Chain A
Amino acid sequence: MNADLLQGLDRSEAESVLALGKRVVLTSGAELFHLGDVAESIYLVARGRLRLTLPMQVRSREEDVMVEERSSGQTVGWSALIPPYRFTLTATAPLETEVIALPREALHGYFAAHPATGYAVSVNLASIIGNRLQLFQAMWLREIQRMVELRCA
Chain B
Amino acid sequence: MEMLLMGACLSMFGLAVACLAFGAATRETRGADAGAPALEKAVAKAAAVAPARFFVDVPALPMAARGKVPIEALLLQLENHVRLEHAAAECFLESPNASLLHSRTTSAFLN
Using CB atoms and an 8 Å cutoff, list the residues of chain A in contact with chain B.
58-59, 61, 63, 65-69, 131, 134-136, 138-139, 141-143, 145-146
Contacts and interface: CB of A to CB of B under 8 A. Distances in A.
A36 B111 CA distance: 35
Interface string B77-101: 0110011011011101100000001
A135 B91 CA distance: 10
A131 B89 contact: no
25 contacts: A58-B71, A58-B74, A58-B75, A58-B78, A59-B71, A61-B71, A63-B75, A65-B82, A66-B79, A67-B82, A134-B93, A135-B86, A135-B93, A138-B88, A138-B89, A138-B92, A139-B85, A139-B86, A141-B101, A142-B85, A142-B88, A142-B89, A143-B85, A145-B102, A146-B110
A54 B89 CA distance: 19
A143 B105 CA distance: 12
B88 to A, nearest CB: 7
Contacts of A138: 88-89, 92-93, 101
